[in-house]
Each structure stands twice: as structure tokens, then as C-alpha cells.
């Protein structure tokens, strides 16, 4: 994968909800897709990358996790903690933009593996945050839209000023 494949804002694929990956009639080999996402994540030294960030419109992302890295097909959150934490996030599709976002610190999730097996996991801390960030990509939600107005406006002002240079 080369850098020019990385989709950047304001490309509309980032705000378009992705299609379910159909294991009964797959649009491509799920193992090849998983491998490509992991390679891209490593190439960009990222903690996660969603398929639509590479121009692939399906509900799948790769993420660094504890104790293992994962590729999640058709992911969803089935429960989340009431306790939230405000932390700064960045995104490959928004170079040099960091925004403080409140997210639940714990989540219970379901997703399919590249083999089509459905698994349920509980994530805490950074792993939970990365899962939520990548899931937002698949839902067409821009990460800065999760931020409060002050933090969002501050980050985007810097983004647009830097693009003019």
C-alpha cells in the first residue's frame, strides 16, 4: 500500500456509512482485505485504520489491541460504560489535527473475524477508544464531530490554516 491510497478529509467516502461485509457473497477475499488493512496500519504506524480510509466501502477495520492486533468485520458496540474520559485523538485522514473527545472507557463489542466467526469481547482504555474511533469511520462519523464545539473549532481552524500554507 502506498501513501496516496490514504483518503483524506473532505473526501465524501469518510462521511458515507459503509456497507456490511457479506460473508455469504463476499465482495473479495476477507483474508486479503485483513492483510491489506494490517499492512496499511503498520505502514502508517497507526493504532487503527478503517477500510473506507483506503477507499474500500465495507464495514471492516484493523486495530492494535491488547493482547493482540485485530481485524474486525461488521463491528458493533453492544454495551458501554457510563464512565467517560476526555482524551486527545488524532486521525490519519486529518493530518496534524488533534481533538479532545469524550468516550466511554469500557465497551462490550461484537464483530466477525476474517473467517466469518462472530466473537464478543470487552475492551477497556485505549483499546476501547481505538475501537470506537474506527467504528465511527465505518458509520461515516468524523471524529471531530464527537468533540465539543470549542475543541472542534480550534482543531479545524488549525487544519484549514495549515492546508493554505
Active-site positions read 134
Cβ atoms of 112 and 21 within 8 Å: the answer is yes
* Cell matching residue 98: 488533534
Q: What is the DSSP string of 72-112?
A: EEEEEEEEE-S-EEEEEEEETTEEEEEEEEEEESEEEEEEE
* Cell matching residue 121: 469481547
The bridge status of strand 60-63 relative to strand 48-50 is antiparallel
Alpha-carbon dihedral of residues 28, 34, 35, 40, nearest 10 degrees? 110
In sequence order, the β-bridge partners of residue 154 are none
Amino acid at each position: 500500500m502506498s501513501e496516496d491510497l490514504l483518503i483524506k478529509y473532505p473526501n465524501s467516502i469518510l462521511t458515507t456509512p459503509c456497507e456490511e461485509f457479506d460473508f455469504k457473497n463476499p465482495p473479495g477475499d476477507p483474508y486479503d482485505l485483513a492483510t491489506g488493512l494490517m499492512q496499511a496500519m503498520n505502514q502508517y504506524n497507526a493504532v487503527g485504520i478503517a477500510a473506507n480510509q483506503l477507499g474500500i466501502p465495507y464495514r471492516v477495520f484493523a486495530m492494535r489491541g491488547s493482547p493482540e492486533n485485530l481485524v474486525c468485520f461488521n463491528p458493533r458496540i453492544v454495551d458501554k460504560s457510563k464512565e467517560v474520559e476526555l482524551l486527545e485523538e488524532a486521525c490519519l485522514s486529518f493530518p496534524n489535527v488533534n481533538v479532545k473527545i469524550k468516550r466511554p472507557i469500557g465497551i462490550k463489542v461484537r464483530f466477525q473475524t476474517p473467517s466469518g466467526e462472530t466473537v464478543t469481547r470487552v475492551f477497556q482504555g485505549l483499546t476501547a477508544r481505538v475501537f470506537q474511533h474506527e467504528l465511527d469511520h465505518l458509520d461515516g462519523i468524523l471524529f471531530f464531530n464527537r468533540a465539543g464545539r470549542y475543541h472542534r473549532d480550534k482543531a479545524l481552524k488549525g487544519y484549514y490554516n495549515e492546508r493554505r500554507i
